[in-house]
């Protein structure tokens, strides 16, 4: 059984168009970045950042868009996920990932949507205290010795 030249030409054309579309319209084909167990992480805790890609690609690069740079991310390629532990205030910020395209080693996907990581426990629990003092007679507040209602 042989294929007609038209079928072969169309198959080849489809492959090359797919490569061209990937390179030029990658923005429609972007990965999804998630955090487990949560995007809100206590200082000293841990979080796993994952990049999900509908084409089943598991190789990605992860980068931080703002805040203090994270040296562990520079020029690194990750497989499936990246564990941050222990989490420090420097890890707070906006992250994005890009998926790697296996058919073209120099092509990466469009960047994922932003993933914001917030670090808690940076400040102590706030408190409020009141000190006794003289009342201002011109204030509209009732005196502590007089009832605030009329009979």
Q: What is the C-alpha to C-alpha distance for residues 88 and 68, in angstroms, rounded to an integer?
A: 11
pLDDT at res. 145: 62
pLDDT at res. 56: 64
pLDDT at res. 50: 94
- In this structure, what token pair is assigned to residue 47? 């979080």
pLDDT at res. 11: 39
Q: What is the C-alpha to C-alpha distance for residues 81 and 114, in angstroms, rounded to an integer?
A: 16
User: Exposed, middle or buried: residue 34 (CB in 10 Å: 0-12, 13-18, 19+)?
Assistant: middle
C-alpha distances in Å from residue 15, one per residue of 8, 96, 110, 141: 11, 29, 20, 80
Q: Is the CATH number of domain 32-120 3.40.30.10?
A: no
Per-residue tens of pLDDT for the chain, all 151 residues:
455 544 333 333 333 334 434 444 444 578 899 999 999 999 999 999 999 886 666 788 898 988 778 888 887 888 889 999 999 999 999 999 988 877 776 788 889 999 999 999 988 778 888 888 776 666 555 556 655 555 5
pLDDT at res. 59: 84
What pTM did the predictor assign?
A: 0.62
- In this structure, what token pair is assigned to residue 8? 């072969």
Q: What is the C-alpha to C-alpha distance for residues 39 and 17, in angstroms, rounded to an integer?
A: 38
């Amino acid at each position: 059984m042989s294929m007609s030249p038209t079928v072969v030409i169309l198959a080849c054309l489809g492959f090359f168009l797919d490569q061209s579309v990937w390179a030029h319209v990658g923005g429609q084909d972007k990965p999804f970045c998630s955090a487990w167990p949560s995007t809100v992480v206590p200082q000293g805790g841990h979080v796993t950042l994952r990049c999900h890609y509908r084409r089943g690609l598991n190789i990605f690069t992860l980068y931080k868009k703002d805040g203090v740079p994270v040296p562990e991310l520079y020029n690194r390629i990750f497989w499936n996920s990246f564990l941050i532990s222990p989490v420090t205030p420097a890890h707070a910020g906006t992250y994005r990932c890009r998926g790697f395209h296996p058919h073209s080693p120099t092509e990466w996907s469009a960047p994922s949507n932003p993933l914001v990581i917030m670090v808690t426990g940076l400040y102590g629990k706030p408190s409020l205290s009141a000190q006794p003092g003289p009342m201002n007679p011109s204030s509209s507040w009732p005196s502590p010795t007089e009832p605030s209602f009329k009979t």
